[in-house]
Chains A and B, each alone.
Chain A
Amino acid sequence: MRTVVPVVERIVETPSTVTLRFDEASRARPGQFVMVWVPGDDELPMSLSYVGARKGVTVKAMGATSRGILEISVGAPIGIRGPYGTAFDVGARRILLVGGGSGTAVLAPAAEAAMARGSRVTAALGATTATEMLFEGRLRTAGATVELATDDGTAGERGYVTGVVERLLRSDRYDVVWTCGPEVMMQKVAAAADLAGVPVVFSVERHMKCAVGMCDACTLGPYHVCVDGPVFPADRIAALPEFAHRKRDPSGRLVPT
């Protein structure tokens, strides 16, 4: 069922990223997504960046992202369907979280829920530049140890976050790695964690239409990301020939990612 609610807060997180908060009572678990409809514009799948009664989604300006959702103002009505899909198991004790760019949006509520239950979280966050770093303060406030990497070296290590991840996996022990970001990054994270013998969980993104496992728009190998995901054990996904290489466009054609 769809609900229509006003946007109650609009927070500019980085020059390219905006969080929209809204009050919606459904029970959601970290990792799940909702379909966010901006009337007259578009309806998009968005992982929840806040999962309580005041929910939130964090939107990045990218090629396919409509201006409508980025520029929506406080008070404007949006339609919400969901929550849908799979969630993170927040019962793990020692968690390494790896966020690339806006991928951190879905990891932050999972980290908060895990820390509230007494888990220890280390977050490795990557961004193009310091001003694009997402939820660093939020994760520190919740009690996470945070390590950064930027492409231009303006925050943390210069280079990809995968370098930080390899170092962390060598120096400490983790029960699980959660990662969301560019698929090439997630694949490298999975390879590094595999060497260290640590299981990995991905949150993945595909073009979606129905969001209820019917229309076949979001297929990834044998899976439908809307119902079998978006949170997957990496060992089910990382070796699929499509992963990190191809995705389906709105017509269902496989096109390079």
Chain B
Amino acid sequence: MAAVEVELAGIRLRNPFLLASGIWGESGESLKGAYAAGAAGAVTKSIGAEPRAGYPNPTVESYGTWGMLNAMGLPNPGIGEYPREIGIARDAGVPLIGSVFAGDAEGFAEVARQMAETGVQALELNLSCPHAKGLGSEVGSDPAEVERVVRAVVGAVQIPVFAKITPNTADPVALGLAAERGGAAAVTAINTVRALAIDARLRRAVLAHGLGGLSGPAIKPVGLAVVWQLYEKLRIPVIGVGGISTADDAIEYALAGARAVQVGTAVAFDGVRVFGNLSRQLPARLDALGFPSWAFAVGAAHPPREPSSRSPRGGP
């Protein structure tokens, strides 16, 4: 059977599947539950300096099996309360990636420093939430600002820093390169795609916030394109996310260049057991497709490169 273990920025993962930020992840019990179900680790909900209630309902619009629209508004209990939740998951042995957000580089560095103290193995910077004023992609759409934020955080903590970038821009590669220059250990792509639901009968936007972010199978081709482009230009690993609900979806992301993947909306469709299904199916699907391991599939859809244009990536 094909090997599916992954090494990501020095962190050993039992398979490539991580719980994506924003799904479950607000409580320690849920982080623990995702790991128990088969995820290799979990990215926390994005945590800020202060408690934040998020937007009023409706916060979610469902489109059956092909997608989901949300504007939660970054609800979170605040970094002051969050160590309690982290502790529950950490004590259960869950590899954890702490997601944080703030409005500027200094804010990011401070909340990242506090998150690192909780004992997470890595940080993921939310530079990409598509619907929070002054936060998320409003910070993360400018490459210079992305580089500033990443550099400030890398200087403030001792653990690997991942930058989660937005697809809602003309040039996501510029954001990935900026994160790399700032010292990021990996780039996560993509966050949700900016989208809107209208109810014709009511003549109004459905979500209380108006604009939201689309997730689920509908955005898989968008995520694959961004991962593909990032893999072409970046030296650091890419973590793929967007519309993965089967082992074959994950292999497509690997072929595009993803070292590991995150799964979110599929949890709403199949429950957290999706992680058990994915991790069971993956070795057989890799075998069937002729890959001796997950690592061999990473980037394998790209044409061979000139030897000079590729630098070592720490293994296949």
Q: Which residues of A contact B (CB under 8 A)?
A: 1-2, 4, 35, 37, 39-40, 42-44, 77, 79, 81, 209-217, 219, 221-222, 224, 227, 248-254
User: B23 — which chain A residues lie within 8 A by C-beta?
Assistant: 214-216
Q: Are the C-beta atoms of B57 and A42 separated by less than 8 Å? A: yes
B253 at the A/B interface (Cβ < 8 Å)?
no
In the assembly, what is the distance between CA of A147 and CA of B208, in Å? 43
User: B51 — which chain A residues lie within 8 A by C-beta?
Assistant: 249, 251-253
Q: Are the C-beta atoms of B29 and A213 separated by less than 8 Å? A: no
Identify the closest chain A residue to B48 (Cβ): A251
B47-67, CB under 8 A of A: which get 1 and which 0?
Answer: 000011110111111111000
User: A250 — which chain B residues lie within 8 A by C-beta?
Assistant: 53-54, 75
Tell me how far the C-beta of A199 lies from the nearest C-beta in chain B, rounded to whole angstroms. Answer: 24
Q: Are the C-beta atoms of A81 and B26 separated by less than 8 Å? A: no
In the assembly, what is the distance between CA of A1 and CA of B199, in Å? 12
Q: Are the C-beta atoms of A227 and B26 separated by less than 8 Å? A: no
B268 at the A/B interface (Cβ < 8 Å)?
yes
Question: Which of A40, A81, A249, A253: most chain B CB closer than 10 A?
Answer: A253
In the assembly, what is the distance between CA of A40 and CA of B75, in Å? 21
Q: Which residues of B contact A (CB under 8 A)?
A: 22-27, 29-30, 32-33, 45, 51-54, 56-64, 68, 70, 72, 75-78, 81, 199, 201-202, 204, 206, 208, 264-265, 267-268, 271
User: A216 — which chain B residues lie within 8 A by C-beta?
Assistant: 23-27, 30, 45
Asked if A210 meets B59 with Cβ closer than 8 Å, knowing A77-B201, A252-B76, the reply is yes
Asked if A217 meets B26 with Cβ closer than 8 Å, knowing A4-B202, A250-B54, A253-B78, the reply is yes
Q: Are the C-beta atoms of A1 and B201 separated by less than 8 Å? A: no
Q: Are the C-beta atoms of A222 and B25 separated by less than 8 Å? A: no
Indicate which residue in B58, B59, B206, B268 contacts A213 across the interface (CB closer than 8 Å).
Answer: B268
Asked if A1 meets B268 with Cβ closer than 8 Å, knowing A251-B51, A251-B77, A251-B78, the reply is no
Indicate which residue in B58, B75, B78 contacts A79 across the interface (CB closer than 8 Å).
Answer: B58
Identify the closest chain B residue to A223 (Cβ): B29
Asked if A212 meets B60 with Cβ closer than 8 Å, knowing A248-B27, A253-B51, A253-B77, the reply is yes
Indicate which residue in A35, A222, A249 contacts B29 across the interface (CB closer than 8 Å).
Answer: A222
Tell me how far the C-beta of B211 lies from the nearest C-beta in chain A, rounded to whole angstroms. Answer: 17
User: A252 — which chain B residues lie within 8 A by C-beta?
Assistant: 26-27, 45, 51, 75-77
User: B30 — which chain A residues lie within 8 A by C-beta?
Assistant: 216, 219, 222, 224
Tell me how far the C-beta of B78 lies from the nearest C-beta in chain A, rounded to whole angstroms. Answer: 7
Contact sample, A vs B, 14 pairs, CB 8 Å cutoff: A43-B57, A43-B208, A77-B202, A209-B57, A210-B60, A212-B68, A213-B268, A219-B26, A219-B27, A227-B271, A248-B26, A249-B53, A252-B76, A253-B81
* Top 3 A-B residue pairs of the complex, sorted by shortest distance between their CB atoms: A43-B57, A216-B26, A250-B53
User: A81 — which chain B residues lie within 8 A by C-beta?
Assistant: 62
Tell me how far the C-beta of B183 lies from the nearest C-beta in chain A, rounded to whole angstroms. Answer: 30
Indicate which residue in B52, B58, B62, B76 contacts A43 across the interface (CB closer than 8 Å).
Answer: B58
Tell me how far the C-beta of B57 lies from the nearest C-beta in chain A, rounded to whole angstroms. Answer: 4
Asked if A215 meets B64 with Cβ closer than 8 Å, knowing A4-B199, A252-B27, A253-B78, the reply is no
In the assembly, what is the distance between CA of A40 and CA of B205, in Å? 10
User: A224 — which chain B residues lie within 8 A by C-beta?
Assistant: 30
Indicate which residue in B52, B59, B62 contacts A209 across the interface (CB closer than 8 Å).
Answer: B59
Tell me how far the C-beta of A42 lies from the nearest C-beta in chain B, rounded to whole angstroms. Answer: 6
In the assembly, what is the distance between CA of A164 and CA of B76, in Å? 42
Asked if A37 meets B58 with Cβ closer than 8 Å, knowing A2-B206, A212-B268, A219-B29, the reply is yes
Q: Are the C-beta atoms of B60 and A211 separated by less than 8 Å? A: yes
Tell me how far the C-beta of B193 lies from the nearest C-beta in chain A, rounded to whole angstroms. Answer: 17
Asked if A210 meets B268 with Cβ closer than 8 Å, knowing A2-B61, A253-B77, A253-B78, the reply is yes
Question: Which of B32, B60, B202: most chain A CB closer than 10 A?
Answer: B60
Q: Are the C-beta atoms of B62 and A1 separated by less than 8 Å? A: yes
In the assembly, what is the distance between CA of A216 and CA of B57, in Å? 14
Known: A214-B265, A250-B75, A252-B51. 20 other contacts (CB 8 A): A2-B62, A42-B57, A79-B58, A79-B206, A209-B54, A209-B60, A209-B75, A210-B60, A210-B72, A210-B268, A213-B271, A214-B268, A219-B29, A221-B29, A249-B51, A250-B54, A251-B51, A251-B53, A251-B77, A253-B51
